[in-house]
Amino acid sequence: MDGKTLAVRAIGRPLDRFDGPAKVTGTARYAFEHPVDRPAYLFPVQATVAVGRIVAVHTEAALAEPGVLAVLTHENAPRVASTDDAEMTILQTPEVAYRGQFVAAVVAETSEAARRAADLVGVDYRTGPHDVELRPDHPDRYAPAVVNGGFATDSVHGDPEAALAEAAVRLDATYTTAWYQHAQIEPHATIATWAGDRLTLYVGSQGVHRLRDSLATLFGLEPERIRIISPYVGGAFGGKLHAHPDVVLAVLCAFAVPGRPVKLALTRQQMFSQVGYRTPSFQRIRLGAGRDGKLVAVSHEAVQQTARHKEFAEQTVTPTRVMYAAPHRSTTHRMVRLDVPVPTIMRAPGKTPGMYALESAMDEMAIACGQDPVEFRIANEPPVDPELDLPFSTRNLVACLRDGARRFGWAGRDPTPGVRRAAGGWLVGTGVASSVYPVYQLPGSSATIRLEPDGRYVVSIGAADLGTGTWTTLAQIAADALAVPVERIDLRIGDTALPPAMAAGGSSGMTSWGSAVVEAARRLRAREAAEHVDGIPASGIEAAADMPENPDRERFSMYAFGAQFAEVRVHEATGEVRVPRLLGVFAAGRIINPKTGRSQLLGGMTMGLSMALHEQCVLDPRFGHVVNHDLANYHIATNADVGTVEVHLLAEDDPYVNPMGSKGIGELGIVGTAAAIANAVQHATGVRVRDLPITPDRFF
Ligand code: MOS
């Protein structure tokens, strides 16, 4: 508009992450590492019963320990202003809702003194009966009002029962997924300071403004009196979006020692009861098809758990509402309240467990219909969104399946199971599954851009970088919107002192923040053009903008799609499963940065492999706790577990999703991976494993 054109645009370039050097040299500060004066250290005391009422707390021995500054219990802890969120309402009553709940806390001069004194706090309980076991036929299962994301609990189209009864080919199978624990590399940590009636927090957060607002409500403080600083986050995956008891406890203790920064870093063991997890699920899927391999009916029923003290209902059957064409369809969620910690969102909530079940069932049905699994999916491609009856802004699932099949070498695959062998007693198989994730845009983001005298542009927005690459990709978006080289962008994120931004959730960050940044840039360029002095743009000018509404969201259904292919080896003597090769092809609009984008999808697929083969919380029903509460026993895939992982990105031009043409990719990569592996395991062995993880005992 003012003659500035760039030979090289920033979007689409595989730039190294700008924060990379700081991270690898250890100078990027994570929550616990921010330097503060005279810190005090906090160590929690956790309930040793699953249900009960505290009848006495003995704090004398702890208080007598050298260096102890305070011992908080439900009797003396500061009162909260709102008890609406039962998960956050801690140390307010003597009731215990789950084993591991915080029931007291010690603040001391050193972390060692705090931990030692916490051991000396005695708690007497009156216990009651508890129920921590999810069963598909649990007598107390109920239908929640809505499920996470505001989706309908149930949906019915046509007459699925009649259609299923009449279908020429039928499948009725139940799949289960495990309890998956949030286990980020950076455990949840907080530094909380209450000084001069102001609360300052350093905490790894997916959204500082959202966290600030929930703490403001909880404690009855004006939001302006709370500042939250979170420049770097060491992994989040949904576990650092909602406030959990750890940050609340740090604030309660900060009130108890005003002026002193209180530091809390959860131990790995504490993580397993405090920061949320993905609910286990039982999923019954019924499919009916004609002899031609066209689906006529789909039914997907999920039974999952929530906590008795607070509901979280995962939207597990929602992908079944959008994936395949069938005139008759029914989907339902049922919940069971248990005496357990509150489940929460985890990478692609709903889509990840739901697509494991649906894509396993699609594989079983393809086999039952005598069809190739790739072709079976293509044959059931819907012309429009089956639930909303809206056209897709772009839908390139078929292209992903075809491109993936070509790259993977799918053509000519013999569907006979259990007949391919590799040296050493390994059975070899291949499998495929589809991937899907919505393009969300969440309201509540604003950006400001200021042109500095040195010609640099300061772009401010309270966005988050969870390790995903925001520091780099949002600068790329700003650079193109301003038509300047990316080197001239000074991005500021991760602080409530910046303009408010919606949290990084639902893979919506780039769409929401990017739309606000592009709009602020448009306004700034208009002002630049208007305020030229002798042809030189005035410095010191600033523009602010809220994220504009996107009217196209009413006209189109917006999703990213992908296809995942897996090659597995299953040892015929031991049942060990190896995955030498994963290949994913994704169509996710314009890719802002192919390097960080590839890493996101690679990470998602790896997490999906981990879900397929390894991850599983084991609960002791007698006591209600996760027994394998550390990374030695809760195994997460390591390098040795991961073979070749290929990520391919299809070019996709979607003019409707947002001004960048991008779709979220933080969650897409995990969706479908576990099904592709399970399907490959069936191809290798002839054994259909319907329960994750696929451990060796499943084969014998
Ligand atoms: Mo993601 S689980 O929506 O933070």
Mutation pick for ligand 1 pocket among 241, 278, 279, 512 (CB with most ligand atoms within 8 Å): 241
Indicate whether 544 and 563 sit together in one domain: no
Mean pLDDT value across residues 389-395? 98
Instruction: For residue 11, tell me if it sits in a domain.
Output: no
- Of 503, 526, 549, the domain-final residue: 549
d(CA 176, CA 690) in angstroms, rounded, equals: 6
Look at residue 515 and tell me if it is in a domain. Answer: yes
Q: How do residues 326-358 score in pLDDT, each as one tens digit?
A: 999 999 999 999 999 999 999 999 999 999 999
pLDDT for res 1: 37
Q: Are 50 and 91 in a shared domain?
A: yes
Task: Name residue, tokens 């290949």.
Answer: 583
For 551-655, where are the E strands, in sequence order?
A: 559-571, 577-587, 619-620, 625-626, 644-649
The two tokens of residue 323 are 């994936």
On whether both 173 and 190 belong to a single domain, the answer is no
| Cα radius of gyration (the chain) | 26
Residue 251, pLDDT > 80, answer yes
Q: Is residue 141 part of a domain?
A: no
Residue 507 CA, ligand 1 centroid: distance in Å: 7
- Strand pairing category for 328-338 and 295-307: parallel
Q: Residue 116 above 80 pLDDT?
A: yes
Ligand 1 centre and the CA of 504: distance in Å? Answer: 7
Q: How many residues would you count in the chain?
A: 700
Instruction: Examine the domain organization and report whether 611 and 533 are in the same domain.
Output: no
Q: How far apart are CA 270 and CA 350, in angstroms?
A: 25
Q: What tokens appear for 506 in the block?
A: 């639902």
Enter the ipTM.
0.97
pLDDT in tens, 652-694: 999 999 999 999 999 999 999 999 999 999 999 999 999 999 9
Q: What is the DSSP string of 361-379?
A: HHHHHHHHTT--HHHHHHH
Residues with Cβ within 8 Å of residue 137, at least 6 apart in sequence = none
The whole-number pLDDT of residue 309 equals 97
Report how far residue 605's alpha carbon sits from residue 571's, in angstroms, rounded to the nearest whole number: 23
Provide mean pLDDT across the span 260-283: 98
Pocket lining: 464 vs ligand 1, CB cutoff 6 Å: no
DSSP string covering 7-59 = SS-STT--PPPTTHHHHHTT-SPPGGGS--SS-EEEEEEE-SSSSEEEEEEE-
Is 140 inside any structural domain?
A: no
Q: What is the mean pLDDT of the chain?
A: 96
Determine the pLDDT at residue 528: 86
223: burial class by Cβ within 10 Å (0-12, 13-18, 19+)? middle
**C-alpha–C-alpha distance, residues 279 and 277, integer Å:** 6
One-letter amino acid at 3 equals G
Instruction: Name the domain boundary from 252, 274, 296.
Output: 274
User: Is residue 669 domain-resident?
Assistant: yes
Question: Which amino acid would we find at residue 498?
Answer: L
Domain-embedded: residue 249: yes
Segment 626-631 shows an average pLDDT of 97
| 402 and 301 co-located in one domain | yes
Token digits for 127? 């216990």
The reply to whether ligand 1 has any atom less than 6 angstroms from the CB of 668 is no
Atom number of ligand 1 nearest to Cα 667? 1
CATH of the domain at 53: 3.30.365.10
Q: Does 295 reside within a domain? A: yes
- DSSP 8-state secondary structure symbol assigned to residue 209: H
* Shared domain check, 590 and 656: yes
Residue 137 belongs to a domain: no
Tell whether ligand 1 has an atom less than 6 A from the beta carbon of residue 601. Answer: no
pLDDT band at 3 (very low <50, low <70, confident <90, very high): very low
For ligand 1, whether the C-beta of 346 sits within 6 Å is yes
Q: Tell me the pLDDT band of 2, cut-offs 50, 70 and 90.
A: very low
- Mean pLDDT for 422-448 is 97
pLDDT at position 596 is: 97
Calculate how far, in angstroms, residue 416's C-alpha sits from the geometric centre of ligand 1: 38
Confidence of residue 529 (pLDDT cuts 50, 70, 90): confident
pLDDT of residue 535: 62
CB of 604 sitting under 6 A from ligand 1: no
User: What mean pLDDT do residues 464-487 have?
Assistant: 97
Percent of the chain predicted with pLDDT > 90? 97
Write down the pTM of the prediction.
0.97
Asked about 667 being catalytic, the answer comes back as yes
149-174 tens-digit pLDDT: 999 999 999 999 999 999 999 999 99
CA of 347, closest atom in ligand 1: 2
One domain for residues 287 and 263 = no
> 320: which 2 tokens?
């079944």
* Structural domain range at position 564: 146-180+278-440+555-699
* Ligand 1 pocket mutation pick from 440, 667, 670, 671 by most atoms within 8 angstroms of CB: 667
Angle at 667 between CA 666 and CA 671, to 5 degrees: 145
- 483 Cα to the center of ligand 1, angstroms: 32
* pLDDT tens-digit series, residues 584-605: 999 999 999 999 999 999 999 9
Q: Where does the pLDDT of residue 7 fall: very low under 50, low under 70, confident under 90, or very high at 90 and above?
A: low
Q: How far apart are the first and last CA of the chain?
A: 69
Query: Would strands 644-649 and 577-587 be described as parallel, antiparallel, or unpaired?
Result: parallel
Per DSSP, 310 falls in state S
Can you tell me the mean pLDDT for 7-22?
A: 92
| CA pair distance 307, 313, nearest whole angstrom | 10
Q: Is residue 525 within 8 Å of 362, Cβ to Cβ?
A: no
- The total domain count for the chain is 3
Kindly tell me if the per-residue pLDDT of 322 is higher than 80.
yes
582 & 473 share domain: no
